[in-house]
Structure 1
Amino acid sequence: MTSAHTAARVAAPTGYPERAAVAEFFTAQAGELDRGGCDVRPGLRFLGELGLLGLGAPDNAGDELATMLLVVEDVAASCMSSGFSLWAQRMVVEYLARGATGPELDGELAALRDGSRIGVTAMAPAMKHVAGLEPVPVIAERTADGVRLDGPIRWASNLFDDALVVVPARFADGGGLIAVLRIDDPGVTVHDAPELLALGGTRSSSATLTGVEVPAEHVLSEDLTGFVRSVRPTFLLVQSAFCAGLAGASRRCSAELLDGLNAEFGADFAELATDHDSVRARLFDFARAPHRPSAADLLRLRLDAARVAGAATRLESAVTGGRGYVATSATSRRLREAAFLPIQAPTEGQLRWELSRSA
């Protein structure tokens, strides 16, 4: 992992007033959330009450995206399930802040920002569509009042009963759109959530849309490609932030255990620290002007961030020893959480493919 950025150039914000409260809240609930004793909604409401769900939306508004990324890092460092759910919530805020028209969606945007409405981003197929990998599976048909949607949402998170979903769809003639619907709309079927290795409290599953009527005012854009390209920098940066947060937690744990026999891991730790610093330097540099870096630079950051999280959790497991193998330990939880990152859309395979095409 190489980069022109160095640790000395990390442009991360120094903090935010609620930082200690955020760390305390999510550290306290991480174990229970991992065991299935609660879900991610209280955490989102907590962040909403603090005014931390919509920082920098849209397009680094108020120059606050870097602070938003620090919040995501902090949450993921304490509880990756909550950090992942926060990414989904923050992206739905981004979508509506960019494309909402009319008082109803303005009200939904306010509810998303304060955490009283949960957001679902079902945009992974749109990313694949724009990359040229496969067409969006949801089909749209025009009606007198808007559009009718049919097709699968193959995977999404935050699929709670009253959640707001942003989903891409395509017309038979090849055009596309970005639409907003509710989980409780007629024709929306959410399938039972499978038991996951980790992230179980995120209510991740699949859904099917059957004749779902969407009014015209709930269509955020009929330029699917343009909309995706406009939100993708923030999409990838927030994902990179939760990877960096998880990596940072494991790095800090490992740093305290490098004595005795574990001194043999000193070189591994030094390499990890360099790679993690590189990811964070790029993350906060790019946040200042999200549309300035090339698509390849953003994709490479996202790939590197996931890789460094995997490396960090494996090193933590090695230096922690047997107690980290206990299923309820924080080390075990972080190792399982990191195992999800290569399959999180955009997957490692998609990232590699897109980077090979841009070379």
Structure 2
Amino acid sequence: MTTLQAQALPPDLVSWLDAHAQALDTGAEHASEVVPQLAQAGLFRIGVERESGGSGGTTVNAIEAIAAVARHSLASAFVFWGQRTFIEYLLQSENGGLRERCLSALLAGEQAGASGLSNAMKYLSALEPLQMHAAPLDAGATRFRLDGALPWITNLRPQGFVVAAAFDRPDNTPPAIFAVPHDAPGVKRSEDLDLIALRGSNTA
């Protein structure tokens, strides 16, 4: 698929977005369908190099595609933003192993990617401390016990997700970003939050 411009969403996706926009704002009945619909249209691959499974283009092209979706459904665009943001984390990360394990499934919409970094942004702005804490379980700091809770994360699909979160570490060690999968021991997802709108965005 060639890189999509803002005005070139596939007609079948446009029809689906227009038909479900209000329902996605007011309820979660179709929430599980958003990521697969966007993936089927190839939207998550925009701005990702072909060598990595993408369709080429730039991050600007990805932003244009998110804006195009928003013209039809804000809730779907919100989910799109969350998924594509996590994909960008992987593309920019030096953690090649994580990228190899996760990127393909994220591009295909088989797994949801969630950005849980609002707490980190507030931490960097000196508005609040980090809410998540990582304690090493071995001398080499290759395994960690993770504790904490984050109140607002979008795209936590019950069918499967991985969430990026910033964790404080002891002994003045700089904080680190961890990618936490839904099926890691101890991970608990709340029920969807009772939002005014965007209720189909799997925000929990």
Query: What TM-score, normalized to structure 1?
Result: 0.49
What is the CA–CA distance in structure 2 between the aligned matches of 1:142 and 1:170, rounded to whole Å?
Answer: 11
Cα distance change of structure 1 residues 20 and 70 upon mapping to structure 2, 3 Å threshold: farther
Q: Is the 8 A contact 1:23 1:74 kept in 2?
A: no
Q: Which residue of 2 is the match for residue 142 of structure 1? A: 136
Uncovered stretches (5+) of structure 2, i.e. residues with no partner: 50-54
Q: Is the 8 A contact 2:28 2:201 kept in 1?
A: no
RMSD between aligned alpha carbons?
2.3
Shift of 1:14: 5.5
After superposition, give the CA deviation of every residue in 1:177-216 in whole Å (9 maximum; x if it has no partner).
01111122211122222322111111212xxxxxxxxxxx
**Any idea what SS the aligned residue of 1:30 has?**
helix
Cα distance change of structure 1 residues 91 and 37 upon mapping to structure 2, 3 Å threshold: closer
The residue type equivalent to 2:65 in the other structure is V
Shift of 1:68: 1.2
After superposition, give the CA deviation of every residue in 1:265-319 in whole Å (9 maximum; x if it has no partner).
xxxxxxxxxxxxxxxxxxxxxxxxxxxxxxxxxxxxxxxxxxxxxxxxxxxxxxx
Confirm whether residue 40 of structure 1 aligns to residue 4 of structure 2: no
Shift of 1:117: 0.5
Shift of 1:41: 3.3
Q: Which residue of 2 is the match for residue 159 of structure 1? A: 156
Shift of 1:38: 2.2
Q: Is the 8 A contact 1:55 1:64 kept in 2?
A: yes
Uncovered stretches (5+) of structure 1, i.e. residues with no partner: 1-12, 206-359
After superposition, give the CA deviation of every residue in 1:55-88 in whole Å (9 maximum; x if it has no partner).
2249xx9542222112111211111111111111
Shift of 1:45: 1.3
* Aligned partner of 1:25 among 1, 5, 16: 16
**Any idea what SS the aligned residue of 1:81 has?**
helix
Q: Is the 8 A contact 1:119 1:158 kept in 2?
A: yes
The residue type equivalent to 2:175 in the other structure is G
Give the structure with higher Rg (CA): 1
Aligned residues: 190
Query: What TM-score, normalized to structure 2?
Result: 0.82
Confirm whether residue 106 of structure 1 aligns to residue 97 of structure 2: no
What is the CA–CA distance in structure 2 between the aligned matches of 1:139 and 1:107, rounded to whole Å?
Answer: 24
What is the CA–CA distance in structure 2 between the aligned matches of 1:160 and 1:40, rounded to whole Å?
Answer: 8
Q: Which residue of 1 is the match for residue 123 of structure 2? A: 129
The residue type equivalent to 1:101 in the other structure is G
Cα distance change of structure 1 residues 178 and 16 upon mapping to structure 2, 3 Å threshold: same
The 5-angstrom pairing of residues 173-188 of structure 1 reads: 173-174=171-172, 175-188=174-187
What is the CA–CA distance in structure 2 between the aligned matches of 1:39 and 1:119, rounded to whole Å?
Answer: 18
After superposition, give the CA deviation of every residue in 1:157-188 in whole Å (9 maximum; x if it has no partner).
12223111111101123311011111222111
Shift of 1:114: 1.1
